[in-house]
Amino acid sequence: MKEIIVTDKAPAAIGPYSQAVETGSLIFISGQLPVDARTGQMAPPDVKAQTEAVLRNILGIMAAKGLPLDNIIKTTVYMTDLGQFQAMNEVYAKYFQKHPPARATVEVKALPKGALVEIEAIAEK
């Protein structure tokens, strides 16, 4: 059995997918873009600003379920330029100070809306 998670604390889905899906003890968070949930505007074209915006969206989805970021067990970070990895990682580290999740970081040719960073996550309730 699965439950679709919908919150106004993260941008609405821009296609045929859900912000997140809960099944059993796991929550699968779709890739989040650096879009402000209130305004619909993209964060500035800066890796740090975009990583911050993406993680705020993930935080909003987790908050909708009453869960802290510490419950995230795995993330996948998609970047259009791995040369900016250190800048992304600096912001990422602020959100996952204790017991960071497992992570993969992948360089991709392009992301929706011209984003520089997108992050998906898996959390445990």
39: CATH: 3.30.1330.40
* 107: Cβ contacts below 8 Å, ≥ 6 apart: 78, 79, 80, 81, 82
Asked which of 8-12, 13-17, 71-75, 81-85 is least confident by mean pLDDT, the reply is 13-17
66-81: average pLDDT = 98
27-50: average pLDDT = 96
56-67: average pLDDT = 97
Structure tokens at 70: 């510490």
Count other Cβ atoms within 10 Å, centred on residue 98: 6
81-92: average pLDDT = 98
Task: Specify the pLDDT at position 96.
Answer: 97
Give the range of the structural domain holding residue 114, as residue numbers without chain letter: 2-124
3-state secondary structure at position 63:
helix
Task: Give the predicted TM-score (pTM) of the model.
Answer: 0.96
Number of separate domains in the chain: 1
How much of the chain, in percent, has pLDDT values that exceed 90?
97
The Cα 44–Cα 39 span in angstroms is 13
Question: Does the pLDDT value for residue 51 go beyond 90?
Answer: yes
The Cα 92–Cα 101 span in angstroms is 11
Compute the Cα dihedral for 13, 7, 124, 56 and give only its sign: positive
Question: Does the pLDDT value for residue 14 go beyond 90?
Answer: no
